[in-house]
A and B are shown apart, each in its own frame.
Chain A
């Protein structure tokens, strides 16, 4: 029942909506049932659902605009050593940071920031039915 509500929200953003919206909703529900603090992103969903990342990107951004998902921003080490910092607000990132991953000092660059999504209370309420 809960996945159907989520599927209805996703349907306008996905091709072959009837099939894919329910699959996507079931997968998202499963992820958040297993770990309520899990992070979703377009590549993770694209791999699991065999849909293109841009399509899933639109679906996730839509859910975020409706208040069911919240942004988590990750400042990635430009040397490819992982995440330097995570934040919900981009203004919380310093303009310069010592990187505990590679030992260098990095200047903030928007190109090093990736976006993922966590469930809001509304999403958890929706998938809990």
Chain B
């Protein structure tokens, strides 16, 4: 049997799998990130090693002119978590589920730390610019694939470019990048935080991360 089959068998019997892909979750602003705790059991049950990254509570500090400072604060936490699990990431691979400001913070961190990598990146309600240039991250294998989940009615994403330095409405419009590794999935009947549920995790995130 291979390691996946070992993990699957352990999971069927309610035993912890030991050879697991790491999944980081990175939350947005104006939140205590309860969604990370909500989806955690589901990720663990499916055999992932879930590492929720707590950026702390913040609101005003994401707005211009504090955005850069806030991103650097977030970067420290993201780097610390990714480095702590570096061995597991190297052996088993990793994924990251990022929401809102967490999308900006994660991509900012990956761009500035070339030794870090995330195999599968899920961006929920992304604040990155629509024309974001993914080629550096893709070419350096810092990211193997991106699933961008958009919600056309997301007011926060629409407002972000007006107030957050470097932000864009990709969480509404998706990305213009035509690389097949960048997938966009639109969820019409949703809002800024409505995708952060166990049901959505099961239906959309787990298949992509697996």
Contact = CB atoms under 8 A, between A and B. Distances in A.
The judgment on whether A and B are partners is yes
Interface of A: 41-43, 53-54, 57-58, 60-62, 65, 90-91, 93, 95, 108, 110-111, 113-115
B156 interface: no
Contacts, number: 55
Contact of B9 (A54, A111, A114): A54
B92 A62 contact: no
Given A90-B91, A95-B90, A113 B2 contact: yes
A62 B1 contact: no
Contacts of A113: 2-3, 19
Given A42-B1, A110-B92, A61 B87 contact: no
24 contacts: A41-B1, A42-B1, A54-B9, A57-B1, A57-B5, A57-B9, A60-B1, A65-B15, A91-B87, A91-B91, A95-B90, A108-B90, A110-B2, A110-B4, A110-B91, A110-B93, A111-B3, A113-B2, A113-B3, A113-B19, A114-B2, A115-B1, A115-B2, A115-B5
Nearest to B15: A65
B34 interface: no
